[in-house]
Structure 1
Amino acid sequence: MTVVPDDNLMTLICDVCGDSVTATACVLPDAEVVWTLVAEHGWSGSPFATGPHRCPHCSLLPPTRPGQSSADMHGPGGVLGIDHLDDATVVTVSGDIDLATGDALRAALREAADADATVLVDLSRVPTIDSTGLGLLVRAHLDARERGLTLGLAAPSRFIRTVLHTMRLDGVFPIFDSREDALERMARPALSAAPASGPER
């Protein structure tokens, strides 16, 4: 469902039940970005105006509904593993990062940060991310920075790169093309502070 703009207001419509909420639009780098509107009202779904978006009630329901194929949702996500290496802790994630997988990812990122090493989130098996997942990564980045650590992202999909670029977060996270490249480059202090590659356009 597309968010409907009206002057300085935006209306968010739930794809499941049709419920809606209208609020003042926030000034963002791109008019198509509705991440703040989604997050502030407890909704889940795409950070962009084009859905899917789900109200707080429907966010707790199973993702499938009549007329929706399994291909529409990419499949459930989850944390595949946490690998404590010499120079970094790698959190490997699979499937979509959304409200359903938020608790598992939050716990994994907390465990990784507690290791007091560089944190790398392997996104090579993650097709999409919603506002919930994006918020978790931003929070984990801030927590890591407070500890004097670096949190990097490995092999994000084109969709995730677009989200990060649109939100102007691609300059916040070090972003790498692969897990191997990330581990090699993040071990070098001079390179750990800057993204290794820009977003695809």
Structure 2
Amino acid sequence: MTVVPEDRLMTLICDTCGEAATGRAYVLPDAEVVWTLVTDLGWSGSPFASGPHHCPHCSLLAPPTGGHASCDDHGPGGILGIDHVDDVTVVTPTGDIDLDTGDTLRAALSHAADMGGDVIVDLTRVHLVDSAGLGLLVRAHLDARDRGATLCLATPSPFVRTVLRTMRLDGVFTVVDDRETGLAHLAVTPAGPVGHAAVAGRRA
């Protein structure tokens, strides 16, 4: 553990140099989620208490990691691509989805809605989603449901899965492991809230 809880405060410890900083980190009812503390202090690293975390100085020295969106991949949100596969629109955002960057994703989801079919939001390159970003996804989900379509979340990071579970949204969204699984699922599942909602809780 690189975060030490004490009363209502948490101490963040840099995994590189050992520097420590203390502050509040409560945003979700889950003591393991400390990303607000990491952000407020200008640190980088995991949104979870288990780390790794880097102080502002060591953040410049921390080597990048591969695979899923890494702890140090945070940055301005954008759209990596919008792909049309049969009747499904796949939107691939990148960076953090928050209040400052949500407009870009909102525009992409509006385009997907205009296409009229199902939507997959590929979160492979997204690490953090704040309350504003989550609200944006919920509204897009409701819009899809109202027009008889489904919005899938593909490849969510462990943090996003925790947020969905903590906010009790894991039974609302259809969550799949990757875009290919989402495309296959949408191809065989009847459209509309009844058909797709049946798998949401099991896949999240």
TM-score category (smaller protein): 0.5 to 0.7
Q: Which residue of 1 aligns with 2:188?
A: 188
1:33 and 2:28 equivalent?
A: yes
Cα distance, 1:53 vs. partner?
A: 9.2
* Distance in structure 2 (CA, Å) of the matches to 1:113 and 1:166: 27
- Does the residue aligned with 1:125 lie in a helix, a strand or coil? coil
The unaligned stretches of length 5 or more in structure 1 are 6-17, 19-30, 35-47
Deviates more, 1:69-78 or 1:88-97: 69-78
- Does the residue aligned with 1:186 lie in a helix, a strand or coil? helix
* Distance in structure 2 (CA, Å) of the matches to 1:73 and 1:100: 17
Identity of aligned residues (%): 55
Q: Which residue of 2 aligns with 1:92?
A: 92
The unaligned stretches of length 5 or more in structure 2 are 9-22, 44-54, 61-70
* Distance in structure 1 (CA, Å) of the matches to 2:164 and 2:117: 24
Task: With the length of structure 1 as denominator, give the TM-score of the two structures.
Answer: 0.65
- The alpha-carbon distance between structure 1 residues 50 and 155, as it changes in their structure 2 partners (threshold 3 A), is closer
Q: Residues 123 and 156 of structure 2 are in contact (CA less than 8 Å); yes or no, is this contact kept in structure 1?
A: yes
* Distance in structure 2 (CA, Å) of the matches to 1:166 and 1:112: 28
1:74 and 2:74 equivalent?
A: yes
| Paired residues, number | 154
* Distance in structure 1 (CA, Å) of the matches to 2:168 and 2:111: 27
* Distance in structure 2 (CA, Å) of the matches to 1:139 and 1:125: 21
**TM alignment of 1:1-201, pairs within 5 A:** 33=28, 51-52=36-37, 68=56, 69=59, 74-190=74-190, 192-193=196-197, 194-195=199-200, 197-199=202-204
- Does the residue aligned with 2:101 lie in a helix, a strand or coil? helix
Task: With the length of structure 2 as denominator, give the TM-score of the two structures.
Answer: 0.64
